[in-house]
Amino acid sequence: VRVSDVRITSLAATDPPLRNSWGVHEPYVLRTLIEITTDDGLVGYGETYGGEAIARDLRGAAANVVGMNPYAMEPLRLRLRSARLFAAFEVALLDIIGKATGESVSEILGGRVRNRVEFSSYLFYKYASDYDDWGEVMTPEAMVGETRRFREQYGFRTHKLKGGVLPPDEEVETLRLLHREFPGDKLRIDPNAVWSVETSIRVARQIEDLNVEYYEDPTWGLAGMAMVAEKTHLPLATNMVVTQFEHVAEGARLGAAQVILGDHHGWGGLRAFKSLGEICYALHLGLSQHSNNHLGISMAAMAHAAAVVPNCLYASDTHYPWQTEDILKGGKLKFTDGALEVPTGPGLGVDVDPELVGRLAEQYKSRPASGRDDVAEMRKRVGDWLPMKPRW
């Protein structure tokens, strides 16, 4: 079996005005669909980051993929020299191998150790918009309402608060209200590194008794994270200072983070996520999954990834509930009791609806903005907005 064709399609799906420390999400999330076809007619799907640059790079790299044996992934990885580009193709190649053998991607990766993968609420402060029905959430009290909806609609019992938006005391108050309202639930907060070391340490003491399972990227840099880690018993988590294999040794040496938030899109694919799991095991680091906005192909891929790594014990992050549009045949994947059943059909176990792909591809072409720029979007609302670091 050889790869005969690679198709790259840029997609845009509506996204609510979610706040973070850089600004606010634009009305569209951009993603890229990778379709790989083999000479015997199998089609494998991958999904990755969106926008012009990555689509151009993927099209440029496709010449390395056409003609290859789908199993020969390691030479492709070395040739591409980009974990992101390789990951995009790798998921599609694994989908093909699964379809060729009749096995699910999680079996191809070495076998599932769990059939259900737990996910976490991704709580965002947000503005109201006429293209989402979550309303404005800009106070601690409103966040309790948002969380209640996540709990009831999806069954999540772990909730990650995207912080770095309101002043730290209001975000602490948010966690306090959430803990009071849902005392058995686990909490996380991720201010995306806009707090100083001093603020991070002060906040750590305030949230240590609020059932916070980890404290994500309160400040920037390996050294800053290590300074905070030294002063709190909360495990620090990161998807900012340890984001590739080359960072692991120094991160571990400094004790900069105790939990790595891996992401197959960035680390080099599902096999790389599994390798990261082995490294975390060897180094006594925790492992969870990071998420950017994504659609259903990535959702299925993440479920397969978490299903094959024994020490992936934290509920994974996902933006998926925020997306109302998807490209999957039969509609979006569904969470029950806070978890996703890992698809067991051949390959990723999900299929793509060409009509929906066409719709989101059309939306990509006709959308006003050129790429995701949370700062520019924020400056439409607050004219002199600048993403300060530290802000507090």
The residues assigned a catalytic role are: 162, 290
Q: Smallest gap, in angstroms, from Cβ of residue 114 to a second copy?
A: 10
Please tell me the count of residues contacting a second copy according to CB under 8 A: 33
Q: Tell me if 74 contacts a second copy by CB under 8 A.
A: yes
**Three-state secondary structure readout of 217-276:** CCCCCHHHHHHHHHCCCCCEEECCCCCCHHHHHHHHHHCCCCEEEECHHHHCCHHHHHHH
- Minimum distance from CB of 287 to a second copy (Å)? 14
Residue selected from 279, 333, 361, 369 as contacting a second copy according to rule CB under 8 A: 279
In the region spanning residues 104 to 133, those forming contacts with a second copy, defined by CB under 8 A, are 107-108, 110-113
Q: How far is the CB of 105 from a second copy (least distance, A)?
A: 10
Summary count for the chain: helices (H), strands (E): 14, 12
**Of the ranges 18-26, 242-250, 292-300, 351-359, which one interacts with a second copy (CB under 8 A)?**
242-250
E strands, the chain, are 3-14, 28-38, 43-49, 116-118, 121-124, 158-162, 186-190, 212-216, 236-238, 259-262, 286-289, 339-341
Q: Are 272 and 299 in contact (CB under 8 A)?
A: no
Both tokens assigned to 319:
């933006």
Beta bridge partners of residue 339, listed in sequence order: 118, 336
**Secondary structure (DSSP) of 127-168:** ---TT-SS--B-SHHHHHHHHHHHHHHH---EEEEE-SSS-H
Smallest gap from residue 318 Cβ to a second copy (A)? 23
Q: Which of residues 354-383 bind a second copy (CB under 8 A)?
A: none
- Residue 390 phi, psi dihedral angles, 5° rounding: -75, 150
Question: Cβ closer to a second copy: 270 or 357?
Answer: 270
Q: Is residue 100 within the footprint of a second copy (CB under 8 A)?
A: yes
| Among the listed residues 139, 196, 275, 363, the single contact to a second copy using CB under 8 A | 275
Report if residue 76 touches a second copy, rule: CB under 8 A: yes
Does residue 331 belong to the site contacting a second copy (CB under 8 A)? no
Query: How far apart, in Å, are the Cα atoms of 162 and each of 118, 129, 189?
Result: 19, 19, 6
Q: Which is nearer to a second copy, 75 or 145 (CB)?
A: 75
Cα separation, 11 vs 51, whole angstroms: 8
CB nearer to a second copy: give 6 or 137.
Answer: 6
Stretch that binds a second copy, among 65-73, 134-142, 161-169, 221-229 (CB under 8 A): 65-73
Phi/psi class of residue 344: alpha, beta or left (left: φ > 0; alpha: ψ in -120 to 50)? alpha
What minimum distance in Å lies between the beta carbon of 69 and a second copy?
A: 7
Q: Which residues bind a second copy (CB under 8 A)?
A: 69, 71-76, 78, 100-101, 103, 107-108, 110-113, 245-246, 248-249, 252, 271, 274-275, 278-279, 281-284, 308, 310
